[in-house]
A and B are shown apart, each in its own frame.
Chain A
Amino acid sequence: MTDVPDAPAPDERDTAADAVSDVDGVADGPKATQNPHHLVELLRQRRRHLRLLDTGVDSWGETLCVAADDLLHVLAFLQADPDADLEVLVDVVCIDHHEDSDEAKASDVDDDENRFEVVYLLRSVRLPYQLSVRVFTSSEHPQVPSVTSLYPSADWLERELYELFGVYADGHPHLRGLLLYPDFVSHPMRRDYPRGKAQPMVPLRTPQHLPVVVTDLPVDDTGDAAQDAS
């Protein structure tokens, strides 16, 4: 598991959370800027040793691609830095770049190397910033560092990530199933998962003695409801 040297101390994070409640983070954050590349420039200025493989802007906000080894360092900085303050992990999305056609396989030599792309959607509550961080991992060793130490909300998201895509979150405290039953075979959200694949059936939960439901009172020969014969 990768170390997180930039992770804020719990006390600092509590203080920051208290500050959030006093601030209207919608439009008038104290250090908000309209620069569309604010977060990327912040990273380049204050964390020069981190490699940003690709940057840009999309519908969510700023976007950047980093190596898996740098992921925790980048997220820890963006969460703790008061000029970024990305303290909400909105979602973790996995994209399988596997292509079915032979043509695509022949043209994309890096298919196996960068098969899975994991996108972390982040936003600030206090400042008007949103960011998506992208990480690629290979088909042979699909693994990304777990970010639960920084964002506890990643707990279920990474369980889902493993269960549906088979991408292992290294360092997750309790990586176990979340959505599928234990006998389910394979990872159903992968592109090469056969659409009509049959799965083991779940045994019906039939009780030993079926309950008897009395809908009508017993009727005697005369057609009247049963009553005391004596």
Chain B
Amino acid sequence: MKSVLDALPDVIMPDAVREADAASIPLVRPDDHDLVRPLAEEELPSATRRGSLMGADTAPLSRHLVWTFGPSHRALPFPLQLRVELSGERVLTVDPEIGWSHQGLERMLEFGTVDEGFGLLARLHPTTPLVPQLLWAHLWETILDVVDEVPARVCWLRVAGLELSRVVAHLDVLRALAEVYADRLAQQIFTDAHKACARALWTLQGEANFCAVGGMRDALDDSALTALEDELQAALVGVGQMHEQQLRNVAFVDGLGGRGVISIRNLLDHGVTGPALRASGVRDDVRRRHPIFAYDALEPALVTQQDSDALSRATQRLQELSDASRMVLQACHEARRADPSLGTLLDVDDKPLPPGRCAVSLEAPNGEMAFFVDVDANGKLRRTRLRTPSFALAQCLPHFLADAHLDDVVPILLGLGMVGTAIDC
């Protein structure tokens, strides 16, 4: 009988006996010496190189676990790594490491033009790039003192884009949670709705072209708006019915209820905002605190939960999703009634930038996103700073995961909706 070994004589097959006799490879404790990165990740590949952990001493593994999340690439050790200290299967401490994949976006923005910044910022949040791009536009409109000159139709359409981004981001989290608990019906409904809404968002971005300071580049006719409304309403019919059903789903409620509980104090201490903060009962929303574009006329609903666990955060997203879709429809309706002007586009890069500094923020799907720029006396961009909600969430992971069961770590992580590219920008 021919086998793989006949065709590929140099193939290396696992040798179970030899591996069983191999010396164990203990994982070292995290080392917090100043500016010295722990070497635990150096040990893990040597364990996995043999194809399995057979023969390894299980005692160290039961106390310490180095857990790598995200896509892997040979040039990068890990996108997110959790060094977990365990007691049995219960998490005692967590030390997150966010990898070495620093993108240098801030530096690239300083060297590039304002227009180039729109393209660069799309990397910050690949699925909903409109959020950082619109904040970038608002930042420069604030510096140039032309916020009031942006036409009403543009403001309404920007709000529609932001809220549609929120719908897409929330659906993305909910479908991932449904997948974890093998809730096929919910998974199907959320996935279908996510696809349809992402398609609608893509169409809106493509046809309107929001990447401009002072207005929009391309006109978006009323028929396109009507099509967007119809698509959104059709996509969310199932989700609306899902709400009550999801809350009665035993697997969902038991799987998320009481998991990942965190105190308000820890959330505020670590700068966590958005759905995670509101799920603990804090009535905080940047859209109401500092309404930009047309948010003051829309009055976003301020819904909150009380339990501050993973179930509350999922419920919070479900409820925000319905309010966000309501705002998209209302914004489209108002945009149709508004003057069709696209505004006067400002060519910021044509002349030296106005000296000064500016910090603005908006409510991204995961919380408060803040941008800061400083322009020197020569009109040269001296400093650009991007602060994303995912950075705060990643830093707060030890508190979200404290005392969690190992099985609960993945659902808790997925429920936070962190965006890896936004953590180390």
Contact = CB atoms under 8 A, between A and B. Distances in A.
Contacts of B360: 59-60
Interface string A71-103: 000000000000000011111011111010000
A87 B268 contact: yes
Contact of B271 (A88, A181, A208): A88
Interface in B262-316: 263-265, 268-271, 273, 280-285, 288-289, 302, 304
A26 B75 contact: no
Nearest to B425: A179
A218 B283 contact: no
Contact of A175 (B8, B35, B273): B35
Interface string A173-195: 01111111110000011010001
Q: In this complex, which of B100, B270, B359 has the most chain A Cβ atoms within 10 angstroms of its Cβ? A: B359
A14 B374 CA distance: 36
Main secondary structure of the interface of A (DSSP, over half): loop
A15 to B, nearest CB: 10
A151 B269 contact: yes
Interface residues of B, number: 66
B383 A93 contact: yes
Interface stretch (B63-71, B104-112, B151-159, B242-250): B104-112
Size bracket of the A interface: 35 or more
A93 B372 contact: yes
Contact of B102 (A18, A97, A180): A180
Interface stretch (A36-44, A47-55, A222-230): A222-230
B18 interface: no
Contact of A121 (B7, B33, B142, B359): B359
Given A17-B265, A59-B359, A182-B36, A205 B372 contact: no
A93 B385 contact: yes
A109 interface: no
B366 interface: no
Contact of A21 (B7, B142, B282): B282
Interface in A143-182: 151-153, 155-156, 162, 174-182
A227 B360 CA distance: 69
Nearest to A159: B35
Interface in B1-38: 1-2, 4, 6-8, 10-12, 32-37
A182 B32 contact: no
B163 to A, nearest CB: 18
Interface in A195-230: 195, 202, 204-209, 212, 214, 218, 220, 226-230
A129 B75 CA distance: 44
A218 B359 contact: no
Given A17-B265, A152-B269, A91 B387 contact: yes
Nearest to B278: A21
A23 interface: yes
Contacts of A14: 263, 265
A26 B331 CA distance: 22
A201 B100 CA distance: 13
B359 A58 contact: yes
Interface of A: 13-14, 17-18, 20-21, 23-27, 58-60, 87-91, 93-97, 99, 119, 121, 125, 128, 132, 151-153, 155-156, 162, 174-182, 188-189, 191, 195, 202, 204-209, 212, 214, 218, 220, 226-230
17 contacts: A20-B284, A21-B264, A21-B280, A21-B283, A24-B283, A25-B282, A93-B385, A95-B374, A121-B370, A121-B372, A152-B270, A156-B394, A175-B34, A175-B35, A208-B49, A212-B10, A229-B2
Given A174-B32, A182-B35, A209-B49, 15 more contacts: A14-B263, A21-B264, A26-B285, A59-B359, A60-B360, A93-B372, A121-B359, A121-B372, A151-B269, A152-B269, A176-B37, A181-B37, A209-B12, A218-B2, A227-B2
